[in-house]
Chains A and B, each alone.
Chain A
């Protein structure tokens, strides 16, 4: 493998990522299944990097799940997205920062549609006005939260307490980077590194001391889809997709998987349990599974946050093997701690409520 060849391609796909003053929109799946991730992200942005990240309390789902499942018609989705933009304009922000990859893909798609078909944009403006009385401006910059962490990865590395290195052998951890389909496959120019060899997560891994693993099914979808799992009988497709990936990456003996989409870690994590129940197969070393992380969790671990504050106890496939390898100190007894939280989380200034 000649890494120089990949670097040449990564140079071709660079995108504009805003520097500060972000308007954050949360993810349906990530908030619910990986709540520690979004909290960690905000903590890193506000406390470590001292950036202004604003969340409007009235913002809603982008309806990406509904749109991709054929439940919500596209005009409705566009109007809901327009409302999100309106709230952003009202709060005085221009840089949109979605937490979810599907949201990112949806916003990119809608902005592209409005660019090519201005008549549709006009219609949506009318509809929004009629429904809510709001008006909006389109965001000047649209970057996914992983793009921003990628942009500031060196700052995070500078503050890192731990590196992605196996403390017993001194070798970098072997990390599989899995990118959400909606990040770059639809619009390769909107993804850092393009669609073929995306660099957004690889850059983070390399900066933080790890080694990226390239395996044949790297480009394969994890199987999240939407229809594939919403209907129970279809879930076999989803599992088969994840299984294809696991079978392909197993010979490379990865230590962990890092993802940027909220759905991917959920599936790559949960389906390992299902595959084990159904077929008795496990893909990690020593008969364990391969721990799956979101990039916020990895950033948090690298900065030395407590794993249980990051929400790692919510993972189905145990994360302890990686914690041990990295040499992170944690208290196994506090894993399922039910004591009330005494620490106060840093809140934001509410604007225009």
Chain B
């Protein structure tokens, strides 16, 4: 359809990039919240991303992943999760005491269990 439009009109209708809170699927987030209550404490300060080994060398921001999980933007999260090395430096920094490493582990579990997203 997009190709037909490109050929006939020379352009396609741009997709909006808003996070549509109502229609996003938050089941992955709910799964993690149930099993890791400290996830609620995250204030997205970025301390974890700052020290992150992977983030230092690749395009990976743990802080951003936390937000995307909370908002239900699962596609982006799924692609990036495997980059985490599970080194645990993030837990050392977190001022609120969030078990950030466990969030990555649980997220991977959630994606595998939900079946739609295979890692």
Cβ of B9: which chain A residues have Cβ within 8 Å of it?
235, 274, 277-278
Q: Which residues of B contact A279 (CB under 8 A)?
A: 13
CB pair A278–B13 under 8 Å, yes or no, is yes
- Report the separation of the CA atoms of residues A279 and B14 in the bound assembly, to the nearest whole angstrom: 12
Q: How far is the CA of A197 from the CA of B14 in the complex (A)?
A: 28
Indicate if the CB atoms of B14 and A240 lie closer than 8 Å.
Answer: yes
- Judge whether A58 is part of the interface by a CB distance below 8 angstroms: no
With an 8 A cutoff between CB atoms, is A2 at the interface? no
Say whether chain A's binding surface is mostly helix, strand, loop, or mixed.
helix
Interface residues in A260-296 by Cβ distance below 8 A to B read 274-275, 277-279
A310 nearest CB across to chain B (Å): 29
Bound Cα distance from A278 to B8, whole angstroms: 9
A348 contacts across to B, CB distance below 8 A: none
Q: Does the CB pair B14–A278 fall under 8 Å? A: no
Residues of B within 8 A of A168 (CB): none
In the assembled complex, B79 has its CB within 8 A of some CB on chain A: no
B13 touches A240 (CB 8 A): yes
6 A–B contacts from the bound complex (CB under 8 Å): A232-B10, A233-B10, A235-B9, A236-B13, A240-B14, A277-B8
Q: Which residues of A contact B5 (CB under 8 A)?
A: 278
**B residues contacting the other copy or chain, number (CB 8 A):** 11
Taking the complex as formed, is A239 at the interface, i.e. its CB lies under 8 A from any CB of chain B? yes
CA A277 to CA B12, docked complex, whole Å? 11
Q: Say if the beta carbon of A243 comes within 8 Å of chain B.
A: yes
Kindly state the separation between the CA atoms of A234 and B11 in the bound complex, as whole angstroms.
7
**Size category, A interface:** 10 to 19
Interface residue B16 (Cβ < 8 Å from any Cβ of A): yes
Q: Which has the most chain B C-beta neighbours within 10 Å: A236, A237, A239, A279?
A: A236
Judged by a CB distance under 8 angstroms, whether A70 is at the interface is: no
User: Closest Cβ of chain A: how far from B22's Cβ, in Å?
Assistant: 13
Q: Does B15 contact A (CB under 8 A)?
A: yes
Known: A233-B10, A279-B13. 17 other contacts (CB 8 A): A232-B10, A233-B11, A234-B11, A235-B9, A235-B10, A236-B11, A236-B12, A236-B14, A237-B14, A239-B14, A243-B13, A244-B16, A274-B9, A275-B13, A277-B8, A277-B9, A278-B5
Task: Write the nearest CB–CB distance from A279 to chain B, whole angstroms.
Answer: 7
CA of A275 to CA of B1 in the docked complex: distance in angstroms? 13
Q: How far is the CB of A188 from chain B (nearest CB, A)?
A: 25
Measured CA separation A236–B12 after assembly (Å): 5
Q: How far is the CA of A322 from the CA of B3 in the complex (A)?
A: 36
Chain B 1-45 per-residue mask, 1 if CB under 8 angstroms from chain A, else 0: 100010011111111100000000000000000000000000000
Q: B-facing mask of A213-248, CB < 8 A → 1, else 0?
A: 000000000000000000011111101100110000
